[in-house]
Amino acid sequence: MSALEHILEANARFAEGYTMGELPPQPRQRVAILACMDARIDPPRALGLEPGDAHIIRNAGGRVVEALRSLAISQQLLGTEEVIIIHHTRCGMQTFTDQDIRQRLRQNLNANADHIAFLPFTDQEQAIQDDVHTYHESPIVRHDVPVYGLIYEVETGRLRRVV
């Protein structure tokens, strides 16, 4: 069974008990959360969030530079006033370099990706600090709101605040 079939079956059951049709688009807790796409992390579950509570932005590594468009929209159009950036331990982004993935893309897809920064990192504490810094350097996001940098431990499920 493909993932799509599994998902459509599960969604049909989910829709039967659905009661959230009237939620507004503005996040109730006025917060935007940025996290990694990692399969082991389920932000609503790990962070105690209900549908309607928060914008959740996710990309490989939870990197801010690729989330600025979404954060600007979240703040300017939908009223969020707090930003929480979450990286995590054992992140796949610590297992390769730009050189590695460019080589794979050339070998596997005959693609030239030399112009793309894939944003891997080596030092975890540095990376979350760098991402908070990237936020503060951007002119298109608010600088009068709190911005936090956290690390989620996939070993324990625990969040640790770094910034």
- For the segment 41-70, give every residue that binds a second copy (CB under 8 A): 41-42, 44-49, 51-60, 66-67, 69-70
- Give the span between the Cα atoms of 148 and 46, in whole angstroms: 17
**In the bound complex, what is the minimum distance in angstroms from residue 127's beta carbon to a second copy?**
15
Q: Which of 64, 85, 118, 137 binds a second copy (CB under 8 A)?
A: 118
Q: Which of 104, 123, 125, 137 binds a second copy (CB under 8 A)?
A: 104
CA distances from 87 to 62, 91, 114, 141, 154 (A): 6, 8, 26, 20, 10
CA 132 to chain centre: 13
Q: Which of 121, 129, 142, 163 binds a second copy (CB under 8 A)?
A: 142
Q: Which of 97, 99, 112, 126 binds a second copy (CB under 8 A)?
A: 112
Q: Does 136 bind a second copy (CB under 8 A)?
A: no
The tokens for 104 are: 């794979």
Q: Which of 90, 99, 126, 137 binds a second copy (CB under 8 A)?
A: 90
Given a contact cutoff of 8 angstroms between Cβ atoms, the answer to whether 152 and 46 are in contact is: yes
Look up tokens 């599994």; give the residue: 6
